[in-house]
Amino acid sequence: MSSKDAIQSSDVEVLKKAIEWLDKGDTVELVTVAKTWGSSPRPPGSIAAVRSDGHLVGSVSGGCIEKQLAIRIDDTDRAQAFSHEITDDEARRFGLPCGGHLELVFEQLTDSSELKTILSAIDSRKRLARTVNLDNKSEVTYEEVDRTVDFHYDRAQIRKIFGPGWRMLIIGGGQLSRYVAQFAQALDYDVIVCEPRQEYASSFDVPGCTLVSTLPDEAVLQHATDHHSVVLALTHDSNLDDSALVEALPSNAYYVGALGSRANNERRRKRLTDIGVENVDRLHGPVGLSIGSRSAAEIAISIVAELVQLRSKSDRQNRTR
């Protein structure tokens, strides 16, 4: 199954459109958010591609300064890669949130083959670092990296990571899991679905996911014990869900959540405590934000929304340290 059939992440969308333009002979620039200050709406590493006629795909400012980028590409005396800072005055002029500005790196692309290599790596669920030497613009290197390597910029080099930085292990292959898996892929999660029940496994058909039939506790130990992992127990079968939680809660997994009502989750916490499971208090249950969700799609939205909220809060705390 290919990632082209799944919900696309923003990076994949930008890469595919840039490849299409380059293959047609268009001039294309890749624009990367290198650094932000204040309340800039897009994080470092965000990318956009701009065609010679001003057409743009992707976003580096949430729509605030994309018009300026479309105008800028008409400058024929541009370097292949350089930094461009949006000052406070420009931020106000182009509607960037108060006090926010950002530094951008522009690259003129000439060949679609390297972008196709990146897409192939993403399709294989690999995590690829693309590093550009800004002092020697023709020097671009690629390296497969693990989830501990992240975006980097120091004005001499810019390293953009393509591929999943986070892994999500979903216990259960039902309807809710299908929605969660698709939304998670759009957020650049590597999604693994553990479904030992053949009747559910045979009908799970989300492209780009890895489907495993091992028992849930084994799946956690094999795939989701580091800090960049999320474990979601979504079967509504206490034997399967609890089996995963026994291993996930004491692990370094960033987030551990379980489906069920408040009452069911309180009973689950008691069961796990009674058998000596550690860190039961960090279980997110009921899983997801309380948004009044009822349908499977709405519950899935509440789950991924909580993950976005927690990661955003963690990022803000890390920046202020």
Residues 6+ apart with CB under 8 A from 281: 269
CATH 3.40.50.300 fits 166-317, yes or no: no
The pLDDT, as a whole number, for residue 303 is: 97
The pLDDT, as a whole number, for residue 294 is: 87
The pLDDT, as a whole number, for residue 34 is: 87
Q: CA of 164: how far to CAs of 35, 125, 170, 187, 310, in Å?
A: 21, 7, 16, 8, 18
**What is the pTM assigned to this prediction?**
0.72
Q: Compute the distance between CA of residue 82 and CA of residue 137 in angstroms, rounded to an integer.
A: 9
Residue ranges in the chain modelled with pLDDT below 70:
1-8, 37-41, 61-101, 137-138, 314-321
pLDDT tens digits for 55-112? 888 877 655 555 556 555 555 444 444 455 556 665 565 555 544 567 888 888 888 9
The pLDDT, as a whole number, for residue 1 is: 35
Domain boundaries, the chain: 3-162, 166-317
114 secondary structure, DSSP code:
H
- 144-153 own/partner pairs: CB under 8 Å, 24+ apart: 147/226, 147/228, 148/228, 151/44, 151/45, 153/34, 153/35, 153/44, 153/103, 153/105
The pLDDT, as a whole number, for residue 41 is: 61
Give me 4's structure tokens.
């082209």
The pLDDT, as a whole number, for residue 97 is: 53
The pLDDT, as a whole number, for residue 87 is: 60
